[in-house]
Each structure stands twice: as C-alpha cells, then as structure tokens.
Amino acid sequence: MEEILVYGHRNPDSDAICTSIAYANLRNILKNNERAVAVRIGELNEETKYALEYFGVDNIPYVDNVAGKKIIMIDHNERTQTANGFEEAKVLELIDHHRIANFVTAEPLKARVEPYGCTSTIVCEMYMEKNIVPSKKMAGMMLSAIISDTLLFKSPTCTQNDIKACEYLASIAEVDLNKYGMDMLKAGTNLSKKTLKEILNMDMKIFELAKGRFGIAQINTVNEKEPLEKKEEYLKEISAMIEELKLDGFMFVITNILTNNSVAIVSGEKVDVIEKAFSKSNDSIIELPGVVSRKKQIVPPLTNA
Amino acid sequence: MEEILVYGHRNPDSDAICTSIAYANLRNILKNNERAVAVRIGELNEETKYALEYFGVDNIPYVDNVAGKKIIMIDHNERTQTANGFEEAKVLELIDHHRIANFVTAEPLKARVEPYGCTSTIVCEMYMEKNIVPSKKMAGMMLSAIISDTLLFKSPTCTQNDIKACEYLASIAEVDLNKYGMDMLKAGTNLSKKTLKEILNMDMKIFELAKGRFGIAQINTVNEKEPLEKKEEYLKEISAMIEELKLDGFMFVITNILTNNSVAIVSGEKVDVIEKAFSKSNDSIIELPGVVSRKKQIVPPLTNA
Ligand SMILES: [Mn+2]
Ligand SMILES: [Mn+2]
C-alpha cells in the first residue's frame, strides 16, 4: 500500500506534531488504498510530549529526507521551514494557517489554508464536514494544538473558529480546557533538561524578508527572569547561529504565558531593522508588552520595517 | 459596504469569468457586511460571450489595477497571470486548480485549491457544503466553465468531481450537456472578428521555467487547416510578442475539439527545449496527437525538458 508522509515544520511545535497525527488518522479513515503516516522532521518539545503522554498517543517516527516521497505538508509552506529533499517530493496536499511564500509545486495539489489560529481547527472542521467524530485521542491531539498555538485563546491570532472547535473537542476528550491547557503550557516551560542551544532551536523559524534573513526563536515561560539571567551565554550561542545560518538578525522572544507579555534578546548586523520595527534595544533587550504571537505581532512589523 | 474584487487570470477564459461570477454570488449570499464584485482583467472571448448570453448573465466590469483593494483570486495564482497592482492588494482568498508558484502573500489567507479540471467544480462543491442550491443562471455559469476547461470531459485534467458537479448543474440549468457544450465550444472557435494578434492573446499564459520564459497560447478550432494556412503571418506576430514580452520560446497550440488532437506553431531562441519536450519541428510545426491540455500535457513535459 502506498505510503504518504504527513509532516509539520522543522523545530516542530504541538500544532506541527498533533495536527499531523490527527490528519493522518482522518485521511486513513477516508481512503482505503493509501496509508498516511504522520512523521516529524525534528525533536518533540516538552509541551508536545506532555500532550502525547496525557492522551496515550505514541511518538511518531523521525524522517530526515522526503525525496521521492508523496507528502502532505502541515502547518507550514515556506521552503526554509520544510524537510530536506522537498524538491524531489510530490506534494499531494497542504494544510496551513500561515501566509504563502517561497512555495512552489510542480503540479496541481489540494491546498486548504485558513486564516485561523491553528491548523488543527481546519482539520477539526474537515472531520465535521465528513461527519466523522474524532476519537478521544484524536480530539486530545487537536485541542492540544489549538491551546498551544492560541496560548489558550489569549493570542490575537485566535478566531471564533478556533474557540468553537476547541470546545467541541474538549467535550469529546473530556478535559477541563483551562486546567489541562495551563498544565500543558506549563509543561512546555520546563527547559531544565535542555542546553541553551537546544532552547534556541526549540521553536526557531527563519524568515527571508526584504531587509534580510532573520531568525526568530520563541519560548514560553512562567518567569522570564530565569532565561534573562543567562543573557550573555544566550548571546554567544546566538552569534554562532547567526554565523552558521547566515542570518542578518536574530530575535529570541521569551513569552510569559501568565502575563501574556514578551521580552526579546536581539542580536545581529541588522538589529537596527528590529529596533525600527519595535523599539530601541537596551543592552540587547527589547520589551514587547502585550506581544505573544510571532506570526501576527512580530513578523508583520519586521516585514514593514 | 466594503467592496471585494473577485477576478480570474489575464486573457480570461470561461473558467476565469464564469467562476468569478458564481463565487461572488455565493459569497454575497453568505456574508452580509461585504459586497463581492466579479470583475475581469481582460476581454471576453467568443465562447464566454456565448455562455453569458445563453444564460442571460450581464458582462462584468473591466478593472485595470487592483492596488489598495481587497481581492479574491480565481483560477490562477502565478504573478505573471494576475492583475496590475497585485503587490499593493490584500489577498483575502484564492480558489484555484493550478500548481502554486510565484505566489506570495503578506498575511495568512483562505486558500482552496483542488487538483480538479475546473475551478467551478470547487465553487459548486462550496455551494453544496453550504446547502445552497445555485440559481439557474449561476448553475449555467459553472457548467459552462467546466465544459470549457475539460473540453466536455475529454481533457485528461477532467476528474470524477468535475463530471459529477457538471451533471448536477445541468439538472438545475435544464440544458442538454452535449448539445449545449458543443454549441458553446464551437462558438469559441469563431475567430472571424479577430486580428491574428488578438487570437494569439486570447488564451496566452507565460510560464517562468528553469529553462527560460515561455509563452503558450492555445485556441480551439473545428478545422486546424484555417489557422495553419496563415502560419507565416502568425510567425511574424509571434516574433513581435517574443521581443515585447522577453520570451525564450513560444508555442501556439491549435486544438481540434472534434478530433481532440493539437498542432503547434513554435518559435523562439529556445525552440530546442520545446522540441526536446515533444518532437522535432517541421517548418515550425509540431504535431501533438492526443494533446488537449496545456496544464497536464504541455507544461509538465516542457518543465522537465
Ligand atoms: Mn501552527
Ligand atoms: Mn481553469
């Protein structure tokens, strides 16, 4: 039976992982002659591990290269965020909630993109359209992704569709959204086992903008003082990443999930572009009050700067 | 009330025009606070005129530039095929059945792309999903687009979804698909009022491929001898277009809708790439037996050549 790889972006977050699992499940219910397999192109973060363990869902296989494979891309479309070997893969489908850029296919495909807060909201609507009630496990996967991407509905990216889907999924998964959501988000703030380099790479995306190539990493925390105390060590790691990845600028965004404010450690040759987008840095630090969404509150000002 | 422009590609065909009309209609039924307006960025061809007249649908306004507008793109996504001012427009939605390439948005959007034979099949499915029965006029628009793009189901791009949608629409529009379809396709072969330059531009698309920039024009006919008799005059016009549009190669594909074969007049500096994709030209002519679809039978071999 033909195998189709379903995967999310590099440095996968809960949306990239959990939505891949839920969509592979739906597609296998709907199609008999193919087998969709959810895979990942990076390591699980602590938050996603918590979600998988809570709902008793197995980890998914790691894949290094998708050349020669049929693929379904979840939660990303830009070339810099996808798998090695993409050019030699056949893109069957794209399900995403980001802008479209640096994305080229050789042939017509199926694409479903919505300006929602989370890709799982799209997949949940696909279950509903097909009159398929997701299992408790799959509902758990999708609601975890929505909680993660919308920071429990606090992010400005969150839409009514996300809230509606998440509440429907919670009724199936039999969880208290607020309790489970805070527990899951807090699990994601546990960075004790990670090196600084690993922390910077947990949720780092590269954006090719008119003004240059910027890396933007984001972590959630309940106490931003801890990472800020290690600022000098982070700056050293960031310099190495800038060199290795040929970046013009870097923002390490630390988001407090209790206060919904962020603070960023910034560096790079074009730090002036970052300052123009936000505010002057003070000792490599920029305060970002009320900012929680990279997609809606960081990338657009940086694009326009 | 906010106005949203709904439009198909340059040198619009029946899919570009009729699907824009049908989708603007659906969106206006569904949304109260906005007004979707179907517009065109080029002249109607004879086939589309026949469809509009047959179903008593008014022609739609011509728009020169979409800068500053909210837009919904139908039946195309590549930059070379869209309206002037695209960079300064806000893309709300994309509905298409082509590969994705040279398409960049600043923000997340709604995109619905399916590998179907025609964009109207997607819009027809959207009507069905919303439990809205299209009016006789709108059913007529959508079935005309499907007949046009699939050459009455003869094109290899035609899918079961196209046939199903078209038969459903024919039952609403109360037409005999074969009779209406052949009459409409034949109306499109009437080129008596057009100059050679107009004929070449009726359905011409530019493709930026690895090997260069190629123009591919296509017309339908019931007798390919007529255009072939004017080969030398066409070649003169083609040379002028190659110069003006900075093309590396040009194919003028003449498709017989009765025999479902094509023949192409070819020209340009990189005619060798075209020959490699198909066969050696004979006096600037390449026979293309069984070829009716630019998207499926011409662009892919040219891309791989
Ligand atoms: Mn996401
Ligand atoms: Mn079309």
| A241-252: pLDDT as tens digits | 999 999 999 999
Task: Read off the pLDDT band of B210 (50, 70, 90).
Answer: confident
pLDDT at B217: 97
pLDDT at B305: 84
For residues A22 and A72, the answer to whether their CB atoms sit within 8 Å is: no
Q: How far apart are CA A125 and CA A168, in angstroms?
A: 11
* Domain A196-304 top-level CATH class: alpha beta
Pick the residue from chain B with its C-alpha nearest to A113. B111
Mean pLDDT of B113-129: 97
Task: Read off the pLDDT band of B144 (50, 70, 90).
Answer: very high
Model-level pTM?
A: 0.89
Q: Which ranges in chain B are annotated with CATH 3.10.310.20?
A: 196-304
Q: Which residues of chain B from 79 to 98 reach within 8 Å of chain A, CB to CB? A: 94, 97-98
Distance from CA of A241 to the nearest CA of B (A): 26
B284 touches chain A (CB under 8 A): no
**Three-state DSSP state, A39:** strand
pLDDT at A116: 98
pLDDT at A9: 97
- Assign 3-class secondary structure to B185-207: HHHHCCCCCCCHHHHHHHCEEEE
The one-character DSSP state at A258 is: T
For residues A69 and A162, the answer to whether their CB atoms sit within 8 Å is: no
Q: Which residues of chain A from 113 to 152 reach within 8 Å of chain B, CB to CB? A: 113-115, 129
Bridge-based pairing of strands A70-74 and B70-74 is unpaired
In this model, does residue B32 exceed pLDDT 90? no
Q: Give B225 Cα–ligand 1 centroid separation in angstroms.
A: 56
Name the strand (E) or helix (H) holding B53: helix B46-54
Question: Which residues in chain B touch residue A112, judged by CB atoms under 8 angstroms apart?
Answer: 111-113
Q: Which residues of chain B from 194 to 253 reach within 8 Å of chain A, CB to CB? A: none
Q: How far is CA B149 from CA B19, B53, B292, in A?
A: 11, 19, 10
Determine phi and psi for B2, rounding to 5 degrees.
-70, 135
Contacts of A182 (CB under 8 A, 6+ apart): A152, A257
The one-character DSSP state at B79 is: G
- The ligand whose atoms approach the alpha carbon of B18 most closely is 2
Long-range contacts of A94-97 (CB under 8 A, 24+ apart): A94/B113, A95/A19, A95/A23, A95/A119, A95/A122, A95/A123, A97/A121, A97/A122, A97/B108
Interface touch B104/A108, C-beta < 8 Å:
no
pLDDT at A192: 86
Q: Which residues of chain A have pLDDT under 50?
A: none
B300 touches chain A (CB under 8 A): yes
Q: Which ranges in chain A are annotated with CATH 3.90.1640.10?
A: 2-187
> Considering chain B, what is the average pLDDT of its residues?
95
pLDDT at B120: 98
For residues A130 and A156, the answer to whether their CB atoms sit within 8 Å is: no
The one-character DSSP state at A80 is: G
For residues B30 and B59, the answer to whether their CB atoms sit within 8 Å is: no
For residues B250 and B235, the answer to whether their CB atoms sit within 8 Å is: no
What is the interface pTM, i.e. ipTM, of the complex? 0.84
In CATH, which superfamily holds the domain spanning A2-187? inorganic pyrophosphatase (n-terminal core) (3.90.1640.10)
Pick the residue from chain B with its C-alpha nearest to A126. B129
Task: Read off the pLDDT band of B231 (50, 70, 90).
Answer: very high
pLDDT at B304: 85
Between chain A and chain B, how many beta carbons pairs sit less than 8 Å apart?
71
Q: Give A97 Cα–ligand 1 centroid separation in angstroms.
A: 7
Mean pLDDT of B10-32: 96
In this model, does residue B164 exceed pLDDT 90? yes
Mean pLDDT of B167-174: 98
Interface touch A100/B112, C-beta < 8 Å:
no
Cα B258 to its chain centre, rounded Å, is: 20
